[in-house]
């Protein structure tokens, strides 16, 4: 682990105990949290994307504001659901964000997660006749178009009265470095392999769509190894990034113990069904810093990844979440290999033989 960031689900609601009552509260507080995290030295500020729910939804305005109000921290998503996206408009917005943020972005995309709406992407106007239940085919096809667009391929036929006969146009603005900042959200061996073959970065969550009886962190570490092997075998060169997400809470004071003390004993991985697939869900870590360091050092996926995303209870407000990030930065992260954002952008691990 070289870096860590926070991952906010962007929940809001007028419920007891929440400091995040409205969408406006959530947006402003996320920007405030990114500013504070930037000053602490945290490497990343990432938001989940969910539609038809009281959570963060359209990420580009929020990421743009976060990038504008910070200096060093990377801003990004975990993840954008491609079923809902126009790939060409997304390519335009992503390039614009890349320029505004001066490359400090990590855009995680994928087929998306279960949602409250029944095939909500169809209400957005996107239909997938081949796989209406899951939308995975459409998401992949859209993502392929998105990659072609950000690679600068001339796709749109030009009006011969405007640009001359036989001319094709590419999306503008075009950022030649944007592809370096695109991540695929992977949760299985198959998607880990395909992500490596595409030469992208890989973002792995707090679940994997496998349940073999192995511990969650071992399953996730195997997926990381498969990703890196596929990246190398496909002939890509460079140092691809890998991130994993965890719920981690250092118990420093009485408030921490009141919120998370009941989880101070290492919880177990959980087995469940998601999208009809038997899946393994990772444990929550909550302990005194010394114990937390030892637990995380035994987490093979955390130690194999370059970036750890800490899922945060955003409805507890920026002040408390900045306390959590400060505690992790001061008491835990240095022992795991962390380098603060003042030491420059995060670099992935070079793939042997690449």
For 128-146, how does the pLDDT look when each residue is reduced to its tens digit (9 = 90+)? 765 555 678 889 999 999 9
181 SS3 class: helix
With tokens 């279960």, the residue in question is 114
* Predicted confidence band of residue 212 (pLDDT cuts 50, 70, 90): low
Distance of CA 144 to the CA centre of its chain: 19
Burial of 328 by CB count in 10 Å (0-12 exposed, 13-18 middle, 19+ buried)? buried
pLDDT digits (tens, 9 = 90+) for 33-73: 999 999 999 999 999 999 999 999 999 999 999 999 999 99
What's the whole-number mean pLDDT along residues 101-109?
A: 97
* pTM of the complete model: 0.92
Label the pairing between strands 44-47 and 74-81: parallel
């Amino acid at each position: 682990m070289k870096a860590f960031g926070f991952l906010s689900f962007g929940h809001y609601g007028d419920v007891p105990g929440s400091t995040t009552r409205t969408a406006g509260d959530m947006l402003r507080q996320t920007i405030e949290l990114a500013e504070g995290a930037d000053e602490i030295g945290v490497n990343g500020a990432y938001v989940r994307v969910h539609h038809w729910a009281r959570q963060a939804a359209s990420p580009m305005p929020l990421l743009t504001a976060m990038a504008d109000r910070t200096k060093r921290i990377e801003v990004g998503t975990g993840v954008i659901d491609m079923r809902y996206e126009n790939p060409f408009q997304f390519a335009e917005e992503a390039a614009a964000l890349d320029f505004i943020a001066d490359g400090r972005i990590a855009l995680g995309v994928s087929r998306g997660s279960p949602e409250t709406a029944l095939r909500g992407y169809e209400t957005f106007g996107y239909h997938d006749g081949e796989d209406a239940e899951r939308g995975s085919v459409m998401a992949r096809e859209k993502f392929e178009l998105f990659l072609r667009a950000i690679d600068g391929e001339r796709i749109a036929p030009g009006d011969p009265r405007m640009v001359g006969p036989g001319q094709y146009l590419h999306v503008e603005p075009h950022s030649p470095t944007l592809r370096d900042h695109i991540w695929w959200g992977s949760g299985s061996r198959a998607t880990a392999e395909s992500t490596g073959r595409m030469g992208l970065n890989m973002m792995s969550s707090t679940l994997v769509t496998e349940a073999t009886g192995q511990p969650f962190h071992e399953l996730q570490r195997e997926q990381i190894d498969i990703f890196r092997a596929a990246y190398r075998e496909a002939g890509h060169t460079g140092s691809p990034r890998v991130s994993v997400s965890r719920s981690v809470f250092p118990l420093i004071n009485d408030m921490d113990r009141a919120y998370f003390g009941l989880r101070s004993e290492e919880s177990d991985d959980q087995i469940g069904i998601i999208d009809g697939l038997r899946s393994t869900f990772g444990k929550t870590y909550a302990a005194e810093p010394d114990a937390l360091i030892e637990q995380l050092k035994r987490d093979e996926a955390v130690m194999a990844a370059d970036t750890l995303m800490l899922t945060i209870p955003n409805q507890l407000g920026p002040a408390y979440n900045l306390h959590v990030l400060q505690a992790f930065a001061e008491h835990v992260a240095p022992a795991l290999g962390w380098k603060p954002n003042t030491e420059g952008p995060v670099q992935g691990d070079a793939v042997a033989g690449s």
